[in-house]
Amino acid sequence: ANLIESRDGETGEHVKRTSMYVDLLVRAAKDYGYHREILSDHYIELLKKAAPMHDVGKIAISDKILKKPAKLSSEEFESIKSHTTAGSRIISKVLSNIESTDYLQIATDVAMSHHEHWDGNGYPQGLKGEQIPLSARIMAIADVFDALTSKRCYKEAYEPQKALKMILEGECGSFNPLLLECLIELS
């Protein structure tokens, strides 16, 4: 995951930051009493370990698209969107004989579904609400928050409070309302 992120100097720390945000958010969710049947200490550790794998599919995307300092064309955006399915496939193939099935499930869910939106308008499958794996719902918020608060080749960084406002007002897609309450508690 670090090798893939290091292809772009601006997002090289993205893996570490999103893992930290996932840890904070999942622990807040557990403290809030959200999904008690799922959020065991074991699950939380596996999710923290899997979080860096969310963008592993970007290895299949050309640098020309990843490092483009302007708006992507519709064809380029379709290419970027394919990192979700590519990542899920890569994790399944590469780690299937190395990691536990619990870890593999969380890692493939995070890679595949971290761009799904609560209202069903995300990608790649257009999952909605509880159809989206919990791990991916958590990862989605961490990923968007970091993307907003980090400088990228195509944008400047937003202040954390501005990023929070954008997320809460739905400017970046729709997210699980209970997880948004946890995010508010963390801010």
Give the pLDDT confidence score for residue 2 in this predicted structure.
58
The structure tokens listed for 72 are 């992507």
172 vs 10 pLDDT, higher one: 172
Q: Which of 53, 22, 58, 55 is nearest to 134 (CA)?
A: 22
pLDDT tier at 9 (50, 70, 90 boundaries)? low
Q: Which of 154, 158, 112 is nearest to 137 (CA)?
A: 112
* Residue 113 reports pLDDT greater than 90: yes
Give the pLDDT confidence score for residue 57 in this predicted structure.
93
103 vs 66 pLDDT, higher one: 103
Burial 72-105 (b: 16+ CB within 10 A, else e): eeeebeebbbbbbbbbbbbbeeebeeebeeebbb
Q: Which residues are catalytic?
A: 58
Strand partners, 173: 171
Within 8 A by CB and 6+ apart from 66, the residues are 7, 8, 58, 80
**CB count, 10 Å around CB of 179?**
23
pLDDT tier at 8 (50, 70, 90 boundaries)? low
CA distance 56 to 79: 14
The structure tokens listed for 28 are 């807040």
Question: At residue 11, what is the residue type?
Answer: T
pTM (2 decimals)? 0.93
The structure tokens listed for 144 are 């968007």
CA distance 97 to 140: 27
pLDDT, tens digit, for every residue of 138-175? 999 999 999 999 988 788 999 999 999 999 999 999 99
CA distance 109 to 134: 9
8 Å CB contact between 124 and 181: no
Overall average pLDDT of the 80-108 stretch: 94
8 Å CB contact between 135 and 47: yes
Q: What percent of the chain has pLDDT over 90?
A: 81
Q: What percent of the chain has pLDDT over 70?
A: 94
Overall average pLDDT of the 73-96 stretch: 95
